[in-house]
A and B are shown apart, each in its own frame.
Chain A
């Protein structure tokens, strides 16, 4: 069963790095996920100031805006999709993720399955 781990960054320093963990922590975690044979996909997202929002109105015209900028303190910073037997295993991997520490959090969501 596939689960997405949505990594919400907590407080970041002036360089955009999360305060609670180092680059080495992420490299180690990434290697562990891949060595365990559960890695499906995963990306780290560029800084939120680079984000652009697109909306299409009822008249078919599109609106492009800068942002959105975070209103709350938590901002999606990246994700993993992993394939594990059940929620408990997924929660264990989420707990080991450096992004779960300090003011960050990892939200675990099952990937919807359509058909058989």
Chain B
């Protein structure tokens, strides 16, 4: 069941005729529930093994909080208050529905058989933290990749279904259907709520990390739309990665992922100009980078690469760190960047990584060397339709003075780019080569 009025960030705020105390209580409910939603849901799911029931009673508990807290004040342990209230409501409902209760009793016995020891309470919060189970259930390989992302945003980030739909650029009705279908599969196929054992972790953790990174990259470089970056989505991904990092302090690839996100996100202020236009790494005002964030990201990158063979996120974090620590493009440690791309290619071969390595080689050895590598990738099917490929070729051809070829490559990139700021950037590049004549429009899509 999808009830969007009360849950997550959709909590109604106080209307004007309500007292300021009421308004502030509503604001506390909102902030508490936003923080606690994932935790609350995880505890309820762990207890009742039923996500729909958990969501229903969690919403009812928030409604109760909205009714009681303005008059009685916010309780000392709001999370525990919400959990107790939600559990009581669940028990009431189960008493009313004996058949349902019998089914749940069977489920509970089997869940206890499968996972006898309850996780210990988290000393920091006032609820035991069972969100790790939710992370793994939401990223279960038996679910479609796009459903994993949607469910993670819905259940762990606390977004409402319309917010998830907006975030993933899907119509709200479609998203609601998809979430209902995915939850039905979790329930009926009985995808378990549990943290995989140590032997399964190497197989399962990458799926969880992939979900968080795809949320982040959609925020960092939106695939379409008027805006280049969608900061809220990137920050949501970082918030989730921080939770995962707290829950799995020993997993070095989680360090690597969080570090990578922070090292990229630290540049976001400098990455767009005053009118939302794209500013390339080489033109960015590096004093506008967030140096506190860079420091934290570098610490995480170091810990990701310490104490064992590196993972792909750790290596990517190290590459991002080299960029973030350099004073400018020319003094960036390009030989080291290329070496790290070689490590990354050995760990996770991909034509996109080959492309990035070719650009780094061009910085180390000159445009001719980079262009040779790019041209070797010409037949690669996964780069077809990927606008950074012709854009990178255009840049190198431009630097080599092969202007007509550069113009053709920029034009190709322009036809493929998804966001308006990226298209505007490519039009500017194109115009530095061939200034537009009267009636001559570079953007083929608008002629």
Contacts and interface: CB of A to CB of B under 8 A. Distances in A.
A1 B107 CA distance: 9
A110 B110 contact: no
A110 B189 contact: yes
Q: Kindly name the residue among A86, A87, A108, A110 whose own CB sees the greatest number of chain B CB atoms within 10 A.
A: A86
Nearest to B194: A88
B241 to A, nearest CB: 24
A87 B190 contact: yes
B188 A110 contact: yes
A116 interface: yes
B14 to A, nearest CB: 44
B388 interface: no
Contacts, number: 33
A76 interface: no
Contacts of B140: 87
B99 interface: yes
Given A87-B191, A88-B191, A116 B113 contact: no
Interface in A76-108: 85-89, 91, 108
A42 B196 CA distance: 29
Contacts of A108: 189
Interface residues of B, number: 16
A110 B102 contact: no
Given A86-B110, A110-B190, A116 B103 contact: yes
Contacts of B192: 85-88
Contacts of B188: 110, 112
B251 interface: no
Interface in B114-144: 114, 140, 142
A85 B112 CA distance: 10
A73 to B, nearest CB: 23
Interface of A is mostly: mixed
B337 to A, nearest CB: 39
A86 B102 contact: no
A86 B190 contact: yes
Interface string B139-162: 010100000000000000000000
A45 B53 CA distance: 42
Contacts of B196: 88
Interface string A30-62: 000000000000000000000000000000000
Contacts of A89: 114
A89 B200 CA distance: 12
Nearest to A88: B192
Contacts of B190: 1, 85-87, 110
B103 A86 contact: no
A88 B142 CA distance: 9
A110 B190 CA distance: 8
A47 B114 CA distance: 39
Contact of B114 (A85, A110, A112, A116): A85
Contacts of A112: 188
Given A91-B142, A116-B102, A116-B103, A86 B113 contact: no
Given A1-B190, A110-B188, A85 B99 contact: no
A85 B110 contact: yes
A10 B418 CA distance: 41
A116 B194 CA distance: 25
A59 B16 CA distance: 69
A86 B99 contact: no
Nearest to B109: A85
B189 A87 contact: yes
Interface string B25-60: 000000000000000000000000000000000000
Contacts of A1: 110, 190
Nearest to B49: A86
Nearest to B200: A88
Contacts of A110: 188-190
Contact of B142 (A85, A87, A116): A87
B189 A116 contact: no
B188 to A, nearest CB: 6
Contacts of A116: 99, 102-103
A86 B142 CA distance: 12
B278 to A, nearest CB: 44
Contacts of B142: 87, 91
A100 B113 CA distance: 28
A111 to B, nearest CB: 10
Nearest to B142: A87
A1 B109 CA distance: 12
A87 B190 CA distance: 6
Contacts of B191: 86-88
B196 to A, nearest CB: 8
B217 to A, nearest CB: 29
A49 to B, nearest CB: 34
Nearest to B102: A116
Top 6 closest pairs, chain A to chain B, by CB: A86-B192, A86-B190, A110-B189, A85-B114, A85-B110, A87-B191
Given A1-B110, A85-B113, A87-B142, 17 more contacts: A85-B110, A85-B111, A85-B190, A86-B110, A86-B114, A86-B192, A87-B191, A88-B192, A88-B194, A88-B196, A89-B114, A108-B189, A110-B188, A110-B190, A112-B188, A116-B102, A116-B103
